A and B are shown apart, each in its own frame.
Chain A
Amino acid sequence: GENVEQHPSTLSVQEGDSAVIKCTYSDSASNYFPWYKQELGKGPQLIIDIRSNVGEKKDQRIAVTLNKTAKHFSLHITETQPEDSAVYFCAASTQAGTALIFGKGTTLSVSS
């Protein structure tokens, strides 16, 4: 079945540094790849997404890159701030496009 692997599981950076989280997916039919941020006591919130016909997408300090051949995609956060501290999840759409399969998450800690 579909599987999404995410690394690292934890990431600690200093304020102002960059953070990179990487994911790989197993289903070559997946064509939609979102990233979600989850804060304590809340549900995941979409922060950026990319479709398979695009290699890179940027939104202010956040960017996502996709390599369909290698079946991996990455989240890049530049100029990190303490409020970026949260759990980040990558996901990939199922072949039927009916649901998202999530990675296990990365706990990002940004210290000032």
Chain B
Amino acid sequence: DTGVSQNPRHKITKRGQNVTFRCDPISEHNRLYWYRQTLGQGPEFLTYFQNEAQLEKSRLLSDRFSAERPKGSFSTLEIQRTEQGDSAMYLCASSFTIEKLFFGSGTQLSVL
């Protein structure tokens, strides 16, 4: 296993469109996290899964954001009706515990 994989690496979309990102965690990691990072800022926590259960979603930025991890393996993050303010790097991380999170290289979203 080569680490956490995120696709696509880059996504350009028009305002109002829906976008979906995929994250494939390190196999057998039961925890999966989504973070957002804007330029010059640290990663901002969005949501967290333990296996297929979404245990923390109160920090999702709005009801336009949703995430799934249907079989406890890969996860998707969807943003509906994108806005220019959604432009950011979306990072996924996986781990066994809160310690030693392994991050992917992220998906860079640009909303025009």
CB-based nearest A residue for B44: A102
Contacts of B56 in A (CB 8 A): 96, 98-99
Selected A-B contacts with CB under 8 Å, 25 pairs: A4-B42, A6-B42, A34-B100, A34-B101, A43-B4, A43-B91, A43-B105, A43-B106, A44-B43, A44-B103, A91-B42, A96-B56, A99-B45, A99-B56, A99-B98, A100-B98, A101-B45, A102-B43, A102-B44, A102-B45, A104-B40, A104-B41, A105-B40, A105-B41, A105-B42
Q: Which residues of B contact A42 (CB under 8 A)?
A: 105
Q: Nearest CB to that of A49 among chain B residues?
A: B99
Give the B-binding residues of A (Cβ under 8 A). 4, 6, 32, 34, 36, 41-46, 49, 89, 91, 93-94, 96-105
| A103, B98: Cβ atoms closer than 8 Å | no
Chain B hits for A34, CB < 8 A:
99-101
Q: How many A-B residue pairs have CB under 8 A?
A: 60
| Cβ-neighbour of A99 out of B33, B41, B42 (below 8 A) | B33
Instruction: Tell me the nearest residue of chain A to B43, going by C-beta.
Output: A102
Nearest residue (CB) in A for B97 is A97
Q: B21 contacts the other chain (Cβ, under 8 Å)?
A: no
The distance in angstroms between the C-alpha atoms of A100 and B100, with both chains bound, is: 10
Partner of B104, one of A43, A49, A89, A93: A43
Contact of A100 with B104 in the complex, beta carbons under 8 Å? no
In the complex formed, the residue of A with least CB distance to B9 is: A41
Nearest B residue (CB) for A103: B42
The distance in angstroms between the C-alpha atoms of A98 and B105, with both chains bound, is 21
A94 to B40, CA, bound (A): 22
